Chains A and B, each alone.
Chain A
Amino acid sequence: MEKFEPKILAFLCNWCAYAAADLAGVSRFQYPSNVKPLRVMCSARVDPLYIIKALKAGWDGILVSG
């Protein structure tokens, strides 16, 4: 059986988590590519509807980081 690779969408707050993701880059931390970043100005901008819609559309996991 093929290994399950979840598709993860990450809502990242511009001021902290997105900056942290940049810092991970500058620090050359390596991580899997199946998490896709999406910048928002604040994690509070993430409407619960976004999460429901994304899960319904087929995403396996949602990360809200802020």
Chain B
Amino acid sequence: MESIEGEPGDFKVTLTSYPRYIDPIKCTGCGECAKRCPVTAINMYNLGLDDRKATYIEYPQAVPLAFAIDIDTCIGCGLCEMMCLAKAINYEDNEKKSTICVGAVILSPGSEGFDPSGMDVLGYGKFANVVTSEEFERILSASGPYRGHLMRTLDREAPKKIAWIQCVGSRDVNLCGNGYCSSVCCMYAVKEAMIAKEHSHDDLDCAIFNMDIRSFGKDYEKYYNRAKDEHGVRFIKSRVHTINEDSTTGDLVIRYTDESGQTNEETFSMVVLSVGLQIPESVTALARRLDIELNNYNFAVTDPFAPVNSSRPGIFVSGVFQGPKDIPGSVTEASAAACAAGTKLAEARGTDTKTIEIPAEIDVLETETRIGVFVCNCGINIAGVVDVPAVADYAATLPYVVFVDQNLFTCSQDTQDKMKEVIKENNLNRVVVASCTPRTHEPLFQETLQACGLNKYLFEMANIRDQDSWVHANDPEAATEKAKDLVRMAVARAGLLKPLKEKKISINRRALVIGGGVAGMNAALGLADQGFDVVIVEKEAQLGGLSRDLTVTIEGADIQRYLLELVDRVTGHEKIQVLTESLIVGFSGFKGNFTTEIMVGPGMYERKIDHGVVILATGANEYKPEEYLYGQDYRVVTQIELGKRLEVKGADDISKVVMIQCVGSRNEKNQNCSRVCCQSAVKNALHIKEFNPDAEIYILYRDMRMYGLLEDYYTEARQQGIIFSRFSQDNPPNVEATDEGIAVTFKDHILQRDISITADLLALSAGMVAEDTEELASILKLPRNEEGYFIEAHVKLRPVDLANEGVFLCGTAHSPKLISEAISQALAAASRATIFLSQSEITLSAVTARVDPDLCAACLVCVRACPYEVPRINEEGVSEIDVALCHGCGICAAECPAKAIELDWYEDDQVMSKVEALLEGVL
């Protein structure tokens, strides 16, 4: 991207496309060019750990699946041009400039791993067995340089002991100037250790050298605990001094200082440097060209209350460019940026759309059954374990199978195009793909069928990857037999499949937002600003939720002023209706057409609201401590209470303050970390210092989780003389009330002795507790985790969707988080909801139950069995099932004593055919 000119709503973007020397439209991705290329080049995708050709594809799943020539290494021999049947090679290709007109821009240029070459004490680049975490990821990957075998780089020996060194290129102002925490390295190091242990054939010893373990995300603490307690990963609180190599063995000696200040040495076979994230020079140059303001670490400057708006109006940011974050955070923020951009483009919605033409369906019922089976290699994911040619040969022997093929990646665009041709050429009328899971890939293959004029329900998959090659990796023979079994099952069912018709329903383009806190209000505005009607249901008399008790963000932004403006915007918005003191008492319907019953206001009159989507923003509260004399002594307060006190009374009257972290978090009752309390403590501590620079402040913590840019405030706090002392979970501080103050006794981790402080005030960093949503969850039939937070459909891929279609999630109803994060997530939920609301109708699945009225005895078994209360006895005195309401679970079909109900696509004979086909192989 060269430049962006113009105004929001009317930008002119100038792009330069660099030459690829292979036309991506003509290229079929067959790979013949790379096979013939005589030049060997370093494969940077595997971070230089193996080679590729000068003619190459970056990685097998690349989109588009088109090769390119690395012109710096190409010798111009012409072999690839000779080999290419598609005539895609063009040595004369050159740089092209183009201009596009857009209304808004989203920048997600990402980050790079820190290069530790300059840190000579770590030995990277000097000792072969010191690798970066990025290199280690590639080593563990099945498509990596060692095909997923755990080996060290020097001698390809299996390592026996691996050490991870945390915070390389993060939290370090001395050696690299990156004072921030990269937020992701703790979790990926734990993950790498767990996977390395799985890949290892011996009892691999894994040790993670760290300052703090920052497992602050949703359920991350549980994962950390599992690594520590169940898998024996060692976590060593330390600072690493140097790494030296034992030149005879290639082993590495780590010299480090432990918490007590003692210097130790330990030898490992391999060392992984957990490198941080940083903004590449190319991105800072881009930001300069586009006039985007960057902070001192080159992340985009954003406002805590407008977390995806860059300094230039109409240009939005997401991902690590906005600040260090993990995948769920990046995916959420990407949706948030889409929402923010969408509100500016609402007028233009739908003005430039194209419709895919689906050919008329071929009638297959009267023709003979012709099944095609496509067996996937999935690179080496399947083929590395399962004997794919043997499975394909076997498939050819099965009844009605007239065509069998195997593909490297069945899901790739070129294979899909090829499949279309094959289906038409061979007049296939049922298709079986043996590959990965139907849960992710069924829709893709069904589209291919539709493009050939076949009904999409004439399709079946055999899951020979997720439920075969991946789980029987050590037994190729058994895995191959199982693959044959699964293919035989799939073919048997495919033969019995019938075409099904899908129903279209209209969408009610209004949203219901449950909860009127910061998240709920932002989600409502995100939708209302795009022109959709929104109803907010709030159980309290006022909007604002927990944020009404908050004062300022750690950056110093005034939360109460923001809240006032936000409430004004929401209540003044013509598209938003707010119902306060309201309670949800009933809920029915289905995606796009929900009806919610609400008791409104002090009078509790009943209202019914029809809406198309639901956004949950029910929030969380500060934990009310039962520990450390809270509630028994007025000098013991929570961080929120302290924040308010500082606002009202300042801190002139307090000279000694102790803070205790992890109160109500990271314990047996609540395993998870509450994410926000470390920064609350530092924020309040700095605030006290502002009022009273002589105040003595002690923060007793277990791990300081000042992730991302928050680390700067932690550094500042230490510079201001705030004392941080680590305690262990099994030896918590002892608190006693005395006339002089609150006496807190704790064992200091550096001095290794007990210290007693008599404080004027003890602040407890109380964790977060999800709002009580037990009743709501049962009315809406929504899943929650042990701690009462709603469970998203997929942690990484669908972080704000619920598995229940049309229902979305944001704010602290998802997990504890900061205000800016809650705002991002609210915009993300609005963005996801827009996908529904922007359509006038949606197509329903045809997998629904059907009653044969002639067999129905109106016994009411189905009426009672259905968990969604769908079947009813109609005027004719028989059961009737509305396909728009039916979830397709089939409980009615299973329960019906007269066998009057069938579940389409899972009819009795279609299921039993699989049971029987399976037995043919084993009996």
What separation, in Å, do the CA atoms of A26 and B473 have in the docked complex?
A: 12
Q: Known contacts being A18-B439, A28-B471, A30-B473, is A40 close to B890, with CB within 8 Å?
A: yes
A51 → B minimal CB distance (Å): 10
A16 → B minimal CB distance (Å): 9
In the complex, whether B82 has a CB less than 8 A from a CB of chain A is no
Report which of A25, A30, A33, A58 forms a contact with B919, defined as CB distance below 8 A.
A58
Report which of A36, A50, A59 forms a contact with B485, defined as CB distance below 8 A.
A36
Q: Known contacts being A38-B911, A47-B893, A57-B919, is A14 close to B471, with CB within 8 Å?
A: no
Query: Chain A residue with minimal CB distance to B865?
Result: A44
In the complex, whether B463 has a CB less than 8 A from a CB of chain A is yes
Q: Which of B315-323, B333-341, B475-483, B514-522 contacts A (4 or more CB under 8 A)?
A: B475-483
- Residues in B with CB closer than 8 Å to A63 are none
Q: Are A26 and B482 in contact (CB under 8 A)?
A: no
Per-residue A-contact encoding for B458-483, CB less than 8 Å = 1, 0 else: 00000101111011111100110110
- Residues in A with CB closer than 8 Å to B467 are 21-22, 24-25, 37
Using a CB-CB cutoff of 8 Å, which residues 31-66 of chain A contact chain B? 31, 33, 36-42, 44-48, 50, 53-54, 57-59
What separation, in Å, do the CA atoms of A21 and B923 have in the docked complex?
A: 25
Per-residue A-contact encoding for B880-910, CB less than 8 Å = 1, 0 else: 0000000111110111000000010010100
Q: Are B915 and A25 in contact (CB under 8 A)?
A: no
Q: Are B465 and A15 in contact (CB under 8 A)?
A: no
B223 → A minimal CB distance (Å): 11
What separation, in Å, do the CA atoms of A66 and B398 have in the docked complex?
A: 31
What separation, in Å, do the CA atoms of A35 and B914 have in the docked complex?
A: 14
Query: Chain A residue with minimal CB distance to B481?
Result: A33
In the complex, whether B279 has a CB less than 8 A from a CB of chain A is no
Q: Are A36 and B437 in contact (CB under 8 A)?
A: no
- Residues in A with CB closer than 8 Å to B479 are 33
Q: Known contacts being A36-B486, A59-B919, is A30 close to B890, with CB within 8 Å?
A: no
Query: Chain B residue with minimal CB distance to A14?
Result: B439
- Residues in A with CB closer than 8 Å to B847 are 41
- Residues in A with CB closer than 8 Å to B195 are 28
- Residues in A with CB closer than 8 Å to B482 are 33, 36
Q: Are B803 and A15 in contact (CB under 8 A)?
A: yes
Query: Chain A residue with minimal CB distance to B142?
Result: A28
Q: Known contacts being A37-B463, A45-B894, A57-B919, is A50 close to B471, with CB within 8 Å?
A: no
In the complex, whether B918 has a CB less than 8 A from a CB of chain A is yes
In the complex, whether B489 has a CB less than 8 A from a CB of chain A is yes
Q: Are A45 and B891 in contact (CB under 8 A)?
A: yes
In the complex, whether B912 has a CB less than 8 A from a CB of chain A is yes
> Of A15, A22, A54, which is in contact with the most chain B CB atoms at under 10 Å from its CB?
A22
Report which of A7, A14, A25, A54 forms a contact with B466, defined as CB distance below 8 A.
A25
Q: Are B439 and A58 in contact (CB under 8 A)?
A: no
What separation, in Å, do the CA atoms of A36 and B887 have in the docked complex?
A: 25
> Of B439, B485, B889, which is in contact with the most chain A CB atoms at under 10 Å from its CB?
B889
- Residues in A with CB closer than 8 Å to B439 are 14, 18-19, 22
Report which of B470, B865, B908, B916 forms a contact with A28, defined as CB distance below 8 A.
B470
- Residues in B with CB closer than 8 Å to A14 are 439
Q: Are B915 and A29 in contact (CB under 8 A)?
A: no
Q: Are B919 and A38 in contact (CB under 8 A)?
A: no
- Residues in A with CB closer than 8 Å to B911 are 38, 40, 45, 50
Per-residue B-contact encoding for A1-24, CB less than 8 Å = 1, 0 else: 000000101000011001101101
Q: Are A7 and B922 in contact (CB under 8 A)?
A: yes
Q: Are B918 and A42 in contact (CB under 8 A)?
A: no
Q: Are B918 and A39 in contact (CB under 8 A)?
A: no
B469 → A minimal CB distance (Å): 8
In the complex, whether B708 has a CB less than 8 A from a CB of chain A is no
In the complex, whether B690 has a CB less than 8 A from a CB of chain A is no
Q: Are A33 and B438 in contact (CB under 8 A)?
A: no
In the complex, whether B565 has a CB less than 8 A from a CB of chain A is no
> Of B463, B894, B919, which is in contact with the most chain A CB atoms at under 10 Å from its CB?
B894
Q: Are A41 and B470 in contact (CB under 8 A)?
A: no
In the complex, whether B172 has a CB less than 8 A from a CB of chain A is no
Query: Chain B residue with minimal CB distance to A15?
Result: B803
Q: Are A29 and B889 in contact (CB under 8 A)?
A: no
Report which of B438, B463, B471, B916 forms a contact with A30, defined as CB distance below 8 A.
B471
- Residues in B with CB closer than 8 Å to A37 are 463, 467, 486
Query: Chain A residue with minimal CB distance to B918?
Result: A36
- Known contacts A22-B466, A42-B889; 6 further A-B pairs (Cβ under 8 A): A28-B473, A39-B438, A41-B847, A44-B895, A45-B894, A50-B911
The 7 sampled A-B contact pairs (Cβ below 8 Å) are A22-B439, A33-B478, A33-B479, A33-B481, A37-B486, A58-B922, A59-B915
